[in-house]
Structure 1
């Protein structure tokens, strides 16, 4: 499944490195070779689309992560806390970035429908509210783990 940890389909989480290298003769070479092949495949760019939503019935997010071959992995999340629309947009982005990081992707292109979120991340908008500052800091922390990160706003 394109390097996707099956547990991500049930619950997103971040874990440590997934490869173990053995150092006894031929097994070391084979394991290293497989790890290198997997790394090359995983390092191709992925596209992440996020959409957060908030309404009187609750809040949640929709995520679509597309691999270079065009396979889509879709996620629907329901938050167990109240969130404004902007908070839901940030929560969607954070969840998507965590999943992408778990897959050990190094290059990601993110499309968000929130003009506010995209422009705050790009630095075009000043962040004033304390909760939005915390969200922005969390996103920047996650983004620092990628080799290449691009974000744009889509209508």
Structure 2
């Protein structure tokens, strides 16, 4: 097989996308069969913006349906396409809760590192986990299912450290 043919096949195996917006500029590689939800998950892992608060725009079209395939037969996105990252309409109303949960998630990560270093007794670990969970319970969700889900996930992560 000629070199240029191999190169063409390799390019068809993945899409390289440039995601810009909200003070981020990142390059992400995904398979053409990946969905919008898969792309949002990769963006979340690099920007820490939860998927439920992302609005993606490509070539003037909103990528709203998370089940749509990115490549041919779906959204029709090609390699080297620029994707705009914006906050969606729910972000402004939930921002206070998002920030509070993010701070507590950072506390959980610090606690996780201390546990890994084995620098804390089990009694102390249990007490710190209880404190973080109490703080998470105090985060007001204002009836937002998205914030409730984020808070629940943070509590699960904190509780998993107890084992």
- Note whether the superposition's TM-score is higher than 0.5: no
Of the two, which has the highest radius of gyration?
Answer: 2
Q: Please report the TM-score for the alignment, with normalisation by the length of structure 1.
A: 0.28
Higher helix share: 2
Higher strand share: 1
Which structure exhibits the higher relative contact order, with contacts defined as CA atoms closer than 8 Å and separated by 6 or more residues? 1
